[in-house]
Amino acid sequence: MRGGVCGISRITNTVPFYRGWSVVLACGIIASLSWGLGFYGLGVYLHALNRLHGWSAGLISIAVTVYYAVSAGGIVLVGGFVVITLPPLLAREEFGQRSFGTVFGLVAATAQVGVALGPGLMGVLHDALGSYRPVLWCLVGLESLAVAAMLWGKALREGPSANHVDNRLGRA
C-alpha cells in the first residue's frame, strides 16, 4: 500500500526508496574529488611554491593540512550552529509558532536571493567606490539596524513590567 503521508505506508511505516539519493551521492563524490584534488594534488604545485618562496615541502604540507582541518571544523561549526539553527530560531521567536512556516520560507527565499545577487553587487560597488570598506561598513550598519529592530520588537511584545508601571505611579 502506497497511501499515507509523504509516501509512508500506514500499515508498515516504511519509507519507499528515495530517488534523491543519487543526487546526494553525486554531491558527496564532487565534494570528495574537490577536497582530494586540493589536498592530494599538492605535489603538482609543491615544487613551484618551494622554488618561488623557498619554503620547505614539510612546511607547505603542514600549512595545507592545517588549512583543510580548520576549514572542515569551520564548516561544521558555522554551518551547523549558525547558518542552520539560528534563522529558524529567530523566526519562531519573533513571529511565533503559528506563522513559523510562512515566515521562515520567506526568510530562506530572501536569503537565497541575497546569496545569488550579493557577490555581483559587492563587485559593482567595489569598482564604483574603489574599496570594500564603505560597503562592509554599510553591511555592519544594516546588521545593527536588524538587531535594533528585533530588540525593539521584543520590548513591544513584552510590554512594560509590573514593577516599571508601579514605579511610574509612585508605588514602591
Mean of all residue pLDDT scores within the chain: 75
User: How many alpha carbons lie under 13 Å from residue 152 in its C-beta half-sphere?
Assistant: 6
Residue 54 located in a structural domain: no
Please give the DSSP secondary-structure letter assigned to residue 5.
Answer: S
Cell of 124: 559593482
In which domain, by residue range, is 126 found?
Answer: 103-172
pLDDT value at residue 38: 67
Residue 76 located in a structural domain: no
pLDDT value at residue 128: 92
Report the helix count and the strand count for the chain, using DSSP H and E.
Answer: 7, 0
Is the separation of the CB atoms in 150 and 94 below 8 Å? yes
Is the separation of the CB atoms in 57 and 50 below 8 Å? yes
pLDDT value at residue 23: 72
The predicted-structure confidence for 86-115, as pLDDT tens digits, reads as follows 778 777 877 888 888 888 888 888 888 888
Distance, C-alpha 148 to centroid of its chain: 21
Place of cell 513559523: 100
Residue 49 located in a structural domain: no
Residue 51 has pLDDT above 80, yes or no: yes
- Range with the largest mean pLDDT of 29-33, 70-74, 78-82: 70-74
Please give the DSSP secondary-structure letter assigned to residue 79.
Answer: I
The predicted-structure confidence for 108-164, as pLDDT tens digits, reads as follows 888 888 888 888 888 888 899 998 888 889 889 988 998 888 788 778 777 766 455
Place of cell 500500500: 1
Is the separation of the CB atoms in 91 and 100 below 8 Å? yes
Comparing CA positions, the residue from 14, 146, 29, 168 lying closest to residue 87 is 146
User: Structural domain tally of the chain?
Assistant: 2
